[in-house]
Amino acid sequence: MIRLLKILVALVVLWSAWWLFAGYGTRAAVSGWFDEQRARGWQAEYADIATRGYPIRHQTRLTHPVLADPATGVAWRADWLTLESPAAQPGKQALRFPETAQRISYFDQTFELVASDMRAGLHVNPAAAFELSDLAFQSGAWAIADGSGPLMTGDSAELSMTQHSEARDTYDIRGDVPRLTLAQNARGAVQASTLPDQIETLTLKMTVQFARPWDMSAITENRPQPRMITLDLAELRWGKLQLLSAGRLEIDGGGVPTGTLTVKAENWREMLAIATQTGALPAELAGAAENTLKALSRLGGNPNALDVKLTFKKGRVYSGILPLGPSPRIILR
């Protein structure tokens, strides 16, 4: 019995030493990362950092964290941010966000995000520059507002990014934002009164090969750029508006895509009106876009619907032999 007690005491001491060591390592890594960003010219600060959760977890909380990148004009601040991990797996982190307002700024625009049970599961490889293996973001009810009032709300949100085991630069990406409701402030730019307040479906399923795997340098230096996109499904359902797309695009070093996309859209005229009213489509291009889409819809036999295959080639977009204009550049900033 005494021998067993000695073994148990030794195990407790060893585990406690490991817990302290791993907790200190996490705090040091977080503090060091903030120091590195300040050296790069960022605003990167927090009021305090502490670890708890002994004996089975590490819960490292930063109070009043602030991050701002002057190069991109993006800034974020919150009351707190918690990193959680099993004590035996410090590379498997979970981020938990407060239910109080998070402030996200882009130059002179500031938005407030309030979300319940907002968290992100993050599995990284510490031995490979914290290379991302798996990201699973989810949230309960959420709302976004700006200085003029509420903009949009949702019942939930989910996003996942999973690395392929044999191709470390390739990720399966899934996103789902069901029942997204636009507030009156957001609908003000959309004068299509026949549309309901709620967007029923907003779904994305695709596989993307990047120029390199995602790791810590994606935040501190530059984003890995997409080189191959296999779009399994992009779906939008908003009242009588329906948009479906799938296809495959190869992207060169300048962000120019080559490949094909199949696009199916119902009530495309209303979509075009929304794009023009919100500024997504310049007014001077609206007439040409309407004539082109009208011609394409006649090919399908239904003047209110589109079912076309778009070909991206040499920086241009075609439908069959019909040129539609320059293709967009796909670059992550």
Residue 114: both structure tokens together: 């309030």
Tokens 């996490």 correspond to: 26
**Domain membership flag for residue 322:** no
* Angle between helices 268-277 and 283-300 in degrees, nearest 10: 170
Q: Helix or strand or coil: residue 98?
A: coil
Residue 82 lies in domain = 1-115
How far apart (Å, rounded) are the C-alpha atoms in residues 73 and 60?
28
Per-residue pLDDT, 285: 64
Q: Is residue 75 part of a domain?
A: yes
Q: Which pLDDT does position 213 carry in this prediction?
A: 92
Residue 158 has a pLDDT of 96
Distance, CA of 28 to chain centre: 27
Q: Flag the least confident range among 7-21, 112-126, 226-240, 267-281.
A: 267-281
Is residue 90 a part of any domain in this protein?
A: yes
155: in domain:
no
- What's the CA gap between 193 and 191, in Å, rounded? 6
pLDDT for res 303: 75
Please name which of 187, 118, 125 lies closest in space to residue 152, comparing C-alpha atoms.
Answer: 187
Check: CB of residue 292 under 8 Å from CB of residue 320.
no
For the cut 70, the answer to whether the pLDDT of residue 126 exceeds it is: no
Backbone angles phi, psi at 36, to 5 degrees: -65, -40
- The pLDDT-based confidence of 282 (bands split at 50, 70, 90) is low
State residue 154's pLDDT score.
94
Q: Does 97 reside within a domain? A: yes
In a domain, 62, yes or no: yes
Q: Does 213 sit behind a cis peptide bond, omega within 30 degrees of 0 on the bond before it?
A: no
Which H/E stretch holds residue 214?
none
Q: What is the mean pLDDT of residues 252-275?
A: 87
Average pLDDT over residues 299-308: 76
Hey, how many other C-beta atoms are within 10 angstroms of the C-beta on 2? 6
Q: What is the DSSP string of 123-174?
A: EEEGGGTTEEEEEEEEESSEEEEETTEEEEEES-EEEEEEE-SS-TTEEEEE
Decide if pLDDT at 75 tops 90. yes
Q: Which long-range contacts (CB under 8 A, 24 or more apart) does 19-24 make?
A: 19/54, 19/55, 19/58, 19/87, 22/58, 22/87, 22/90, 23/51, 23/58, 23/60, 24/51
User: Could you count the other beta carbons within 10 Å of the beta carbon of residue 152?
Assistant: 18
In a domain, 171, yes or no: no
Looking at residue 128, what is its pLDDT?
A: 59
Q: What is the pLDDT of residue 190?
A: 60
Nearest to 48 by CA among 34, 32, 64: 64
Beta-carbon contacts of residue 277 (< 8 Å; ≥ 6 apart): 189, 190, 191, 192
pLDDT tens-digit series, residues 168-204:
999 999 999 999 998 876 666 565 556 788 899 999 9
pTM of the model: 0.83
Give the SS3 label for residue 287: helix
State the amino acid at position 165 in one-letter form.
S
| Lowest pLDDT segment from 26-30, 45-49, 246-250, 312-316 | 26-30
Q: What is the pLDDT of residue 136?
A: 95
Provide the number of structural domains found in the chain: 1
Confidence of residue 306 (pLDDT cuts 50, 70, 90): confident
- pLDDT given at position 55: 87
262 belongs to a structural domain:
no
- Mean of all residue pLDDT scores within the chain: 86
The C-alpha angle with vertex 34 and arms to 33 and 37, in degrees rounded to 5, equals 90
